Structure 1
Amino acid sequence: MTSIWDGTKVRLRGIEPEDWQAFMRFDQFSADMRSVDLIHPPRSAAGYRRWATDRATQPASDDEFQLAIESLSEQIVVGALSTTNIDQRAGRFSYGIGIGRDYQRRGFASDAIVVLLRYMFGERRFHKCGVGIYAFNEASINLHEKLGFQVEGRLRDHEYFAGRHHDVVIMGVTIAEFTERYPLPDV
């Protein structure tokens, strides 16, 4: 039996308290932290344990959540994703995704995004997904283009870090564009 949360390479699952070590390893690379979000102050091992425990015991929501990305072959956490900017009225949402340095360029991100979009479009009735990507993150822009996202605009000098302002590229995909490439499963 397969789960809607299983792709071909990854499984999306809740964050467990024992996942804290994986997230601590991911945060050791400032460039990776910056590509996903921003650089946070150092956290102790106890802080990571508390963070993972808090995520594991957080009440579930159908639309706004944070999940671990687990490799199906190795059964280890390779990254995480979270939904954001939920707009039920307009039928749109966004997400953020990060894959640990040792697991990048292996197809985990694209597989996780497809699993997420199938759920949000096919089960939660959303119409559009939009993402904002730092303009210097060419790998993420290319990934999203391959998944069918369209460039919708650019926010100039929108975010500040590393001593200067950076552009953000806005990309989006509708359910029709997504299902043209990735049909929703039959019931």
Structure 2
Amino acid sequence: MTSIWTGERVRLRGVEPEDWAAFRRFDESSVDMRSADMIHLPRSAAGYRTWTAELAGAREGEEFMLAIETRADQVLVGALSTSAVERRAGRFHYGIAIGRDHQRHGYASDAIPLLLTYMFGERRFHKCEVRIYAFNEASIALHRKLGFQPEGRLRDHEYFAGRHHDLVLMGLTKDEFTARHPFPGVT
């Protein structure tokens, strides 16, 4: 039996309380922290344990975070999450972060279609949107490769590292996605 949460290289799963140490390591890189979201204040080990315990106990919903682990050795390599769910319009945003030591191994390109298969094929969404810092050329290229289309650019939209930065908006519809990744059968 095959799970829609399992790709060639990775498996998506719920966050476990013991994942706190890996998330703490990911946050040691300011560049990675900023690429995923923004630089947060330092968190204690107890703070990480509380945060992952809360995520582990999260109930089902349309805004969630999942851990990304390798299939080969079950190592946590990153996480992805949904946000800005707009049920009436049928769209949502998502974000992904892969730890520095695990980048450029194809984990993101394997994990993203798993999430989109669920959101488009099981939750009936029509469109996925992603916001990427304009200087993050690798992420823009990855999303183009996955079929996302540029939809706009917000100039001087985010502030960090002493200046404002542009944000690139990209989108992918269900039909564009299924043209590349047909939904799995039901039997």
TM over 0.5: yes
For each residue in 1:17-59, what CA deviation from the matched residue of structure 2 results, as whole angstroms up to 9, or x when unmatched? Answer: 0000100000000001111110001111111111111111122
Task: Kindly indicate whether residue 37 of structure 2 is the aligned counterpart of residue 37 of structure 1.
Answer: yes
- CA RMSD after TM alignment: 0.7
Which whole-Å CA distance do the structure 1 matches of 2:136 and 2:176 have between them?
A: 23
**Do structure 1's residue 167 and structure 2's residue 166 form an aligned pair?**
yes
How many pairs are equivalent? 186
Secondary structure of the corresponding residue to residue 78 of structure 1: strand
SS in 2 for 1:2: coil
Aligned mates of 2:89, 2:31 — CA distance in 1: 34
| Equivalences for residues 1-187 of structure 1 within 5 A | 1-61=1-61, 63-187=62-186
| Aligned-residue identity in percent | 69
Give me the whole-angstrom Cα distance separating, in 1, the residues matched to 2:174 and 2:52.
32
Q: Deviations over 1:133-160 (max 9, x none)?
A: 0001111000000000000100000000
Q: What is the CA distance between 1:8 and its match in structure 2?
A: 1.1
Counterpart of 1:170 in 2: which secondary structure? strand
Deviating runs (4+, > 4 A) in structure 1? none
> How far has the Cα of 1:60 moved from its partner?
2.1
Structure 2 length normalisation: TM-score? 0.98
The one-letter amino acid of 2:8's match is T
Amino acid in structure 2 at the alignment position of 1:30: S
> What do the CA deviations read for 1:87-111 (whole angstroms, capped 9, x no partner)?
1111101101100011100010111
Take 1:98 and 1:141, find their aligned partners in 2: how far apart are those partners?
A: 14
Find the aligned partners of 2:173 and 2:162 in 1 and give their Cα distance: 35
Task: Flag structure 1 segments of 5+ consecutive residues without an equivalent.
Answer: none
Provide the rounded CA distance (Å) in 1 between the counterparts of 2:59 and 2:35.
Answer: 28
Shift in Å, 1:66: 0.6
Task: List alignment gaps of at least 5 residues for structure 2.
Answer: none
Distance 1:76 1:38 in 2: 24
What secondary structure does 2:169 align onto?
A: strand
Distance in 1 (CA, whole Å) between partners of 2:153 and 2:104 is 25
Counterparts of 2:11 and 2:162, CA distance in 1:
37
